[in-house]
Copies of this chain bind each other. A is one copy, B any other.
Amino acid sequence: MTTMDDVARLAGVSTSTVSHVLNGTRKVNAETRLRVEEAIEQTGYRRNVVARALAAGRTNTVGLSISALTNPYFGSLVHAVERALSDAGYVLIVGDSHDEAESEKRVVDSLLGRKVDGMIVAPAAGSERASLPEIARAGTPLVLIDRGADIESDQVGPENESSAKALTDHLLDIGHTRVGVVRGLAGISSTTERFDGYVAALSDRGIDLDASLIVDGESNTEAAERGVYALMSSADRPTALVSMNNAMTIGTLKAIRRLGLSIPGDVAFVCYDDFEWSDLFEPKLTAAAQDVETIGATAVELLLRRIQGDDGAAQHIRVPTTFHHRNSCGCA
């Protein structure tokens, strides 16, 4: 493998000069620079980023801990983050936390050991007490994405409460009074906030919260399907349903289909999160769509600012959702 030494020797200069032409870190005689560039060309030299990182004390690398890469929503998020970072000359290392604090800790540990310059985390339930303090202790810049946590750090996520309220309000507006809700994984802020939005909508109209109308979908489609199946099999089932994320939506739709119920005829339906195919589905789904691109880009922006040394107050940014009024709500 060719090293800087080889290049220096071939060009008849010191490694220090080679390093400087490579990095543009000091003025170099045009002619010398040319010789160096030729030597690089000739040898096919490629700088060893590992050695560079060790010497320079930064890796130009950012770590991302995220749950469930399989979920298309997170897939898009990773994509958005990756693009923003690579535009800024950084490389992304992703770890999947499976939404468990313990496995998140492993991911974070590994990332920290790799001396990432910064970290973006979609915190699992319980990570305030597990990985997040470690990151703080290591002094690594951090921004939370998608969900929040009760710590001092930048955070970027979608608007949850008011969007969930708007979805629920819509069902209420068109006359429903028994509205079921399918909520996501317990213990994470987005679940709580979206549920709060649902509750707020009800309470605005003086409707009491009915615990029997709440389905806990945990993290997965299957749980949501089971829960909705049970709920919708009951005698006094709700006339409308709000689903709080895309996995919940798939589960819900499967259950409804399995029961032979029709949307919106037998039950009106609205959901948080949009799908690429949501206007393909019959009926088209009325949904609140997140702006994943903006969320990802914003997280990166905040993080880079921290990496560059900004130590202003922590920012909490909410990116608005877009309400897509289609026909699963049944008010055409």
Contact = CB atoms under 8 A, between A and B. Distances in A.
A30 interface: no
Interface string A224-237: 00000000000000
Interface in A184-234: 221
B50 A59 contact: yes
A51 interface: yes
Contact of A69 (B1, B44, B75, B93): B75
Contact of A75 (B72, B82, B112, B280): B72
A257 B69 CA distance: 30
B281 A257 contact: no
Given A46-B112, A91-B93, A281-B280, A69 B79 contact: yes
Given A49-B115, A50-B114, A78 B69 contact: yes
Given A250-B280, A280-B257, A91 B78 contact: no
A66 to B, nearest CB: 10
A88 interface: no
A132 to B, nearest CB: 15
Interface in A243-286: 250, 253-254, 257, 275-277, 279-282
Interface string A127-139: 0000000000110
B82 A110 contact: no
A44 B138 CA distance: 10
A74 B78 CA distance: 12
A92 B91 contact: no
Interface residues of A, number: 50
A54 interface: yes
B92 A79 contact: no
Contacts of A281: 277, 280-281
Contacts of A95: 82, 86, 91
A96 interface: yes
27 contacts: A1-B138, A44-B137, A46-B138, A47-B113, A48-B115, A49-B114, A49-B115, A51-B54, A54-B54, A68-B79, A69-B76, A69-B79, A69-B82, A71-B75, A74-B75, A86-B96, A91-B114, A92-B94, A93-B93, A221-B276, A250-B277, A250-B280, A253-B277, A253-B280, A275-B277, A277-B281, A282-B282
Interface of A: 1, 44, 46-51, 53-54, 59, 68-72, 74-76, 78-79, 82-83, 86, 91-96, 109-110, 112-115, 137-138, 221, 250, 253-254, 257, 275-277, 279-282
